[in-house]
């Protein structure tokens, strides 16, 4: 039984994810409220949110229509069983998503996190090939520096070494494309770099090595996000689409970050004129307000499963909280907000100004590269010699404690991703505070 005299602010019991716990607990960083472009701290400070929470609060914090929709859903239908039953708004949300996605990506499976969406997509790929009599297609191809969440599927196809090395052998039979990033050839490119489409040819080599008949799917983020924002070289994604199509390999775009306007289009797929076979999404679908994710699949994949006796389950997969009523209500309200405020178009219109603001940080001490695309940018700082991550952690501490700024930092890379509602003056403020922090940690 929990002791009744437990201290309410005991820090020890909580194990923070992806966080150096001991350093955090010595000097905690807390948010206790949020509205629009800002977080509020327990001591009453207003901190500008330059990374949309964690790339999810695309419409800004505390939006009333979303809050209201969640409140109403909670009062109306707190839970509905997702297996064998539905609730009306589920069908509304999936229909709206089908309209938003390109091509015939018309069918959605819901889950709760990006990691689950990725696992779901990988399993659908396997089941699809098996249903079509190609059960030998079990291999997945990911990419170095890719991030696809932390499930065993996601870390297997992912390519961030720290997320992989502790966890054994993971999924068997996974291979990886090389990263498209080459600083010598691409440094300080705005948008899609000129160099690098040829790295897609590595897929041809991997197909030669493994044979197409063993490969189920290729999974990539259209813009690698969590590793530090790596935009795709011009023509690269189109090449991946051509090669996969030619060899009967499914192409999965993991759009957990790039979905819902981050690149000025509903999905990155549209920006690049590509129809992948599946899109995984999460984060922005509910504006981060309730956990929700999903996988959109093309008609042919859905239809392949709609065989056999009609009373038998077609896909033995799902989660207790797939399509949870609160998440679905938040999703519908969020899509309405994106549409009513024209936020994807706003992001597109603001791309050039945002890039200019980010690129103006070039020349500050230790800035080794800047990569803006859409309303997303990676800023690499040179690591302190022999101590990777130290400069980045120093930046995290100073931002919060001294400069009222929140930006996602991974190792020594700052990843800027303001809410799509950001005004020019918000962007200037973010830029200026980042500049101050960069100078402070130099």
Ligand X SMILES: Cc1ncc(COP(=O)(O)O)c(C=O)c1O
Please state the length of the chain.
Answer: 442
Within 101-224, residue ranges assigned H as helices are 114-131, 152-157, 161-164, 183-186, 202-210
How many C-beta atoms surround the C-beta of residue 301 within 10 A?
22
Task: Select the residue whose beta carbon is closest to ligand X and give its number.
Answer: 114
Q: Which residues within the stretch 242-261 sit at the binding site for ligand X (CB under 6 A)?
A: 254, 256-257
Which phi and psi angles does 183 have, rounded to 5°? -60, -40
Instruction: Pick the closer one to ligand X by CB: 114 or 233.
Output: 114
Q: How many residues bind ligand X (CB under 6 A)?
A: 14
Q: Are strands 367-373 and 376-381 parallel, antiparallel or unpaired?
A: antiparallel
The position carrying tokens 């914090």 is 61
Q: HSE of 298 in the Cβ direction (CA atoms, 13 Å)?
A: 16
Cβ proximity to ligand X: between 277 and 431 the closer is 277
Backbone angles phi, psi at 239, to 5 degrees: -65, -45
Q: Interaction with ligand X in 142-171: which residues (CB under 6 A)?
A: 147-149
Q: Which is nearer to ligand X, 63 or 262 (CB)?
A: 262
Q: Which of 52, 58, 113, 156 binds ligand X (CB under 6 A)?
A: 113
Name the β-bridge partners of 298.
105
Q: What is the Cα–Cα distance from 280 to 300, expressed in whole angstroms?
A: 17
Least Å from the CB of residue 356 to ligand X: 26
- The residue (of 371 and 403) whose beta carbon lies closer to ligand X is 371
Contacting ligand X within 225-244 (CB under 6 A): 225-226
- Cβ proximity to ligand X: between 113 and 429 the closer is 113
Taking CB under 6 A as the criterion, the residue among 51, 52, 108, 115 binding ligand X is: 115
Q: In this complex, which beta carbon is closest to ligand X, that of residue 18 or of residue 79?
A: 18
Mask for 263-302, x = binds ligand X (CB under 6 A):
-------------------x--------------------
In this chain, which stretch among 220-228, 334-342, 369-377, 396-404 interacts with ligand X, using CB under 6 A?
Answer: 220-228
The answer to whether the CB of 67 falls within 8 A of the CB of 289 is yes
| Member of 82, 114, 228, 378 binding ligand X (CB under 6 A) | 114
Crossing angle for the helix pair 236-246 and 202-210, to the nearest 10 degrees: 20
Angle made by CA atoms 20, 230, 104, in degrees to the nearest 5: 110
- Please give the structure tokens belonging to residue 173: 């039979």
Distance CA 18, CA 410 (A): 10
- Nearest residue (CB) to ligand X, 108 versus 226: 226
Q: CB of 67: closest distance to ligand X in angstroms?
A: 21
Binding site for ligand X (CB under 6 A): 113-115, 118, 147-149, 221, 225-226, 254, 256-257, 282
């Amino acid at each position: 039984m929990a002791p009744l005299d437990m201290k309410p602010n005991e820090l020890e019991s909580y194990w923070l994810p992806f966080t150096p716990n001991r350093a955090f607990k010595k000097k905690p960083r807390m948010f206790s409220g949020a509205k629009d472009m800002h977080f509020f701290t327990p001591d009453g400070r207003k901190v500008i949110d330059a990374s949309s929470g964690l790339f999810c609060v695309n419409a800004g914090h505390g939006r009333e229509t979303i809050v209201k929709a969640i409140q109403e859903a909670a009062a109306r239908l707190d839970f509905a069983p997702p297996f064998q039953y539905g609730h009306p708004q589920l069908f509304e949300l999936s229909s709206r998503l089908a309209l938003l996605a390109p091509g015939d990506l018309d069918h959605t499976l819901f889950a709760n996190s990006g990691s689950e969406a990725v696992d779901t997509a990988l399993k659908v790929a396997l089941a699809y090939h098996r249903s079509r009599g190609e059960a030998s297609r079990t291999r997945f191809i990911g990419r170095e520096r890719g991030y696809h969440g932390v499930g065993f599927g996601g870390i297997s196809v992912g390519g961030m070494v720290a997320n992989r090395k502790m966890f054994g052998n993971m999924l068997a039979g996974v291979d990886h494309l090389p990263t498209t990033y080459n600083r010598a050839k691409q440094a300080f490119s705005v948008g899609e770099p000129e160099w690098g489409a040829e790295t897609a040819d590595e897929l041809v080599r991997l197909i030669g090595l493994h044979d197409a008949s063993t490969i189920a799917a290729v999974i990539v983020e259209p813009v690698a996000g969590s590793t530090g924002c790596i935009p795709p070289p011009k023509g690269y994604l189109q090449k991946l689409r051509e090669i996969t199509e030619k060899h009967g390999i499914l192409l999965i775009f993991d759009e957990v970050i790039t979905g819902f306007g981050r690149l000025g289009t509903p999905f990155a797929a549209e920006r690049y004129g590509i129809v992948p076979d599946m899109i995984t999404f999460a984060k922005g679908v509910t504006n981060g307000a309730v956990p929700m994710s999903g996988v959109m699949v093309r008609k042919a994949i859905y239809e392949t499963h709609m065989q056999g006796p009609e009373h038998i389950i077609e896909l033995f997969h799902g989660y207790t909280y797939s399509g949870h009523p609160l998440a679905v209500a938040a999703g519908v309200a969020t899509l309405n907000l994106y549409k009513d405020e024209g936020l994807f178009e706003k992001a597109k219109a603001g791309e050039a100004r945002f890039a200019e603001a980010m690129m103006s940080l070039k020349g500050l001490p230790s800035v080794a590269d800047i990569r803006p695309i859409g309303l997303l940018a990676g800023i690499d700082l040179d690591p302190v010699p022999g101590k990777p991550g130290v400069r980045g952690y120093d930046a995290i501490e100073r931002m919060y404690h001294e400069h009222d700024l929140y930006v996602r930092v991974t190792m020594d890379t700052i990843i800027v991703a303001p809410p799509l509602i950001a005004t020019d003056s918000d962007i200037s403020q973010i830029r200026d505070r980042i500049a101050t922090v960069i100078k402070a940690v130099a």
